[in-house]
Amino acid sequence: MAQALLKAVDITKSFAGVRALKGVSLEIMPGEIHCLAGENGCGKSTLIKVISGVHPRDGGTLEFDGKPMDKFSPIDAIMAGIQVIYQDFSVFPNLTVMENLALNTELAAKRKLVSKKRMRQIAEEAIAKIDFHVDLDALVGSLSVAEKQMVAISRALMFNAKLIIMDEPTTALTRKEVKALFDIIMKLKAEGIAILFVGHKLDEVFEIAERFTIFRSGELIATGKIADLDDQKFSYYMTGRRFRNESFQAQELTQQPVMELKDLTLDGYYEKINFALHGGEILGITGLLDSGRTELALSMFGVKPATSGQILRNGEAVSIRKPQDAIAHQIGFVPEDRLSEGLFLTQSIGDNIVISEIDQLKTKSGTFDHEARQKEVDRWVQELAIATPDANNNANTLSGGNQQRIVLAKWLACNPEVLILNGPTVGVDIGSKHDIHMILQKLAREKGMGIIIISDDLPEVLQTCSRVLVLKNGRIVHEAPAAELTEQAILDHMM
């Protein structure tokens, strides 16, 4: 039997008395694609940092390539053949591709003078390893997310990597880009390089990984072959909860549409979009990245006003040229990037919740009503089950799922009749994803809200929406009840 490349046994780690890892173990074979999964806060990131030398472990043993690893630094880990590609890729956006690729080599060689000819040669050799075509003189900050990831992978391979750890590598990628990444991963596997794929998207895990390890609350819950796993087991191991995979059925719909689009067009992005949204239903809009779906969402909220056509609210044409117009017409919008567009991360959870209704939280004399504010904060923390010991803590102290609940609370506090969500569960773990879906279904059923979910997560669209529109090249190419569709049928229309 082949010797394990990485063998971590009974690893423990605590921070300020809080046990982040409670005796977890992980074994990876050479050339294996291994999935490490678990909800946010389960200990995945802590173990990665222990393996890569960022955090010293408190207990347990760690071996790599047959050698014990004691008191080692990140540089030692890199020289041993361990590379980590974090979610932000750890690239320098203000430097060129060539400089990002060659800088570490130049520093490792302790060169005093930089040779651009030598740096270009190093960079060319690096991208050739994965057949990556890119302008070496382009600033990394100008590249797409997928291209930045390829730069990070190319850089990782320059130091004879034996194990590459990819932390949530598909979070911001399109379906096409995910396929390209998986092709690269399979190529690395063929060269004998092991991949630790950290993720929680079921379809991707089943597609790419051979074995899995799942953590929950700092403990090892299960490990084994992917072939022995199914959706239900995966979700249960991750969360300790059993979910019923039932699609949403719209019940009592409003007779009059709460929103209608008539021949809505944004030149260069989409044209002649027509649909009616009724209160009580969840409408899914899906398509590839260049289908116009995101721009359509931005137009409905006034960020990118349409160039022609009409938007109607409750049967009356309205002008939505800026977000304030949309808010005035009781339209809420949850953006795809909650970190840069949806939250004030360094402000408190409470302030983020009430920011959209700040004008309503004033006394008759014009002063701020702190008691009313606290009631609103307490209400939404409880109603959306935001997991925090103190709503005065900053928003950046929460997991992705709880941050998304804050964004939801912010808009729900405004009592919208229409709620548009662009990628509502991007970067959210399985448990929080399920909870967010349940919240949206409850809003549609009990509050009669008209909800639009824009997503390329097809299982999400099929399970959460009652009706689906498929966009391609800026036009609606198919419309059907979600119950009558399959993932493959949607893909056929998208492609």
Tens-digit pLDDT profile for residues 300-339: 999 999 999 999 999 999 999 999 999 999 999 988 766 5
Model confidence at 256: pLDDT above 80: yes
Measured CA angle at 190 (ends 238, 39), to 5 deg: 10
Domains 6-239 and 257-494 share a fold: yes
Span 436-465, pLDDT tens digits: 888 899 999 988 999 999 998 888 899 899
Query: If we measure between CA atoms, which residue out of 437, 366, 447, 429 comes closest to residue 408?
Result: 437
What distances in angstroms separate CA 422 from CA 169, 191, 300, one per listed residue? 20, 39, 11
What pLDDT, on the 0 to 100 scale, is given for residue 115? 83
Q: Is the dihedral of CA 194, 218, 336, 392 positive or negative?
A: negative
* Mean pLDDT value across residues 88-96: 87
Q: Which residue has the higher pLDDT, 69 or 357?
A: 69
Span 257-494 CATH architecture: 3-Layer(aba) Sandwich (3.40)
Query: If we measure between CA atoms, which residue out of 380, 381, 362, 384 comes closest to residue 371?
Result: 362
Query: If we measure between CA atoms, which residue out of 362, 358, 359, 396 comes closest to residue 377?
Result: 358
Q: Which residue has the higher pLDDT, 197 or 408?
A: 197
What is the distance between the alpha carbons of residues 411 and 419, in angstroms, rounded to a whole number? 8
What distances in angstroms separate CA 354 from CA 343, 349, 403, 406, 432, one per listed residue? 12, 9, 14, 10, 22
Domain ranges of the chain: 6-239, 257-494
Enumerate residues 6+ apart whose C-beta is below 8 A from 365: none
What pLDDT, on the 0 to 100 scale, is given for residue 178? 85
What pLDDT, on the 0 to 100 scale, is given for residue 402? 82
Mean residue pLDDT of the chain comes to: 89
Kindly report the CATH class assigned to 6-239. Answer: alpha beta
**Cα 188 from chain centroid?**
24
**pLDDT confidence band for 341 (50 / 70 / 90):** low
What pLDDT, on the 0 to 100 scale, is given for residue 10? 97
pTM (predicted TM-score): 0.74
Encoded tokens for 278: 């009724």
The residues with which 26 forms a beta bridge, in sequence order, are: 8
Q: Parallel, antiparallel, or unpaired: how do β-strands 18-28 and 33-37 relate?
A: unpaired
Q: Is the dihedral of CA 431, 335, 464, 405 positive or negative?
A: positive
Which of 157-161, 216-220, 337-341, 387-391 is predicted most confidently? 216-220
Span 272-294, pLDDT tens digits: 999 999 999 999 999 987 899 99
What is the distance between the alpha carbons of residues 86 and 165, in angstroms, rounded to a whole number? 8
Span 194-213, pLDDT tens digits: 999 998 778 888 999 999 99
Q: What is the dihedral of CA 275, 279, 285, 291, to 10 degrees?
A: 50
Residue 395 in contact with residue 347, Cβ under 8 Å? yes
Least confident of 41-50, 346-355, 463-472: 346-355
What distances in angstroms separate CA 20 from CA 28, 43, 44, 48, 390, one per listed residue? 21, 6, 9, 12, 21
Model confidence at 21: pLDDT above 70: yes
